[in-house]
Amino acid sequence: MKLGRNDLKILDDDGREVPKRPSRLTASERQSAHQTAREAVAARAAKFAALCARHGVEGVLQEAGFGADGAARATAELLTAEAPPTAIVFDSDEMALSGAHVVLESGAEIPGDVAIASYEDSPLARTHRPPISAIGRSAVEYGRVAARRMLEIIAGWGSAGAGEAARGESRAIEPELLVRGSTDPGAEPTSPPISLRG
């Protein structure tokens, strides 16, 4: 059984399931890995595992720390496993770049043998060869939302409802799946982002 474009899904940080680009994943290639870095990403790791289970893909959560050295070590371990993964998702661009280096040094091809993706985008991920697929989140937009919220709190500070104005809340910023050559050899270097709101 071959899984195609509409069979595999990705989750954004809020747990929404959205379609992603095609995969080379077949019945004989049913293992994927996600290198997790710290407790703060435990929910993301749990969603990754649940999604893999839902699609019959063996999901391996590999503790790697949160840096290049840990990612290199963990990637080397994964590649020497009895059933090495056909895809690895990293928590950061630094980890993805380090892991990609280990994959290429092993003689494996990206994405031919191992697809690489990152939960963090950066100029380094975009200029790597092949460019690394990533979740794009606008730091400018995060800053804009945070500044707007601070101004709202400051504006309400002297009023009777100051406590209400300062109460915690969450505001969603839509991330984007940026599909590049590390997961799709046919991706254009400037492929438009795929909305993760589906």
- Examine residue 3 and state whether it is found in any structural domain, yes or no: no
**Number of domains the chain is built from:** 2
Tell me: cis bond preceding 175? Omega within 30 of 0 counts. no
Determine the distance from the C-alpha atom of residue 18 to the mean position of all C-alpha atoms in its chain, rounded to a whole number.
13
Q: Which two tokens stand for residue 97?
A: 């770049």
> Would you say residue 2 lies in a domain?
no
- 34 within some domain: yes
HSE-CB at 129 with a 13 A cutoff on CA atoms is 0
Give domain status of residue 149, yes or no: yes
- Would 156 be classed as within a structural domain? yes
Q: What is the pLDDT of residue 160?
A: 59
- Does residue 144 sit in the same domain as residue 92? no
Predicted confidence at residue 136, as pLDDT, reads 86
Residue 5 lies in a domain: no
Q: What is the pLDDT of residue 49?
A: 86
Burial of 16 (0-12, 13-18, 19+ CB in 10 A): middle
For 82-120, write each residue's pLDDT tens digit.
Answer: 989 999 999 889 999 999 999 999 999 999 999 999 988
182 and 97 in a common domain: yes
| pLDDT, mean of residues 171-178 | 80
Label residue 108 exposed, middle or buried (CB < 10 Å: 0-12, 13-18, 19+). Answer: middle
Residue 67 sits at the vertex; the CA angle it makes with 62 and 71, to the nearest 5 degrees, is: 40
What's the pLDDT band for 25 if we cut at 50, 70, 90? very low
Residues 116 and 33 in one domain: yes
Residues 107, 153 within the same domain: no
Q: What pLDDT score does 17 carry?
A: 52
| Band (143; pLDDT cuts 50, 70, 90) | confident
Based on the domain organization, do 160 and 124 belong to the same domain? no
pLDDT band at 1 (very low <50, low <70, confident <90, very high): very low
Average pLDDT over residues 59-68: 82
153 and 129 belong to one structural domain: no
The percent of residues in the chain predicted with pLDDT above 70, rounded, is 67
CATH classification of the domain holding 35: 3.40.50.2300
Whole-number Å distance between alpha carbons of 196 and 126: 19
The greatest distance separating any two alpha carbons of the chain, rounded to the nearest whole angstrom, comes to 66
Let me know whether 32 and 119 are in one domain: yes
pLDDT digit string, tens, across residues 116-129? 999 888 899 999 99
User: Domain check: are 86 and 147 in the same one?
Assistant: no
> 150 is in which domain, residue-wise?
139-172
Residue 71 has pLDDT above 90, yes or no: yes
| pLDDT score, position 146 | 84
Q: Are both 93 and 38 inside the same structural domain?
A: yes
Q: Is pLDDT at 41 greater than 80 in this prediction? A: no
Residues 157 and 62 in one domain: no
Count of beta carbons in the 10 Å neighbourhood of residue 189: 10
- CA 174, CA 51: separation in Å to the nearest integer? 20
Query: pLDDT > 90: what percent of the chain?
Result: 33
pLDDT band at 26 (very low <50, low <70, confident <90, very high): very low
Tell me which of 51-60, 133-142, 159-168 is least confident: 159-168
Pair (90, 148) in one structural domain: no
The verdict on 50 and 71 lying in the same domain is yes
Q: pLDDT category, 20, cuts 50, 70, 90?
A: very low
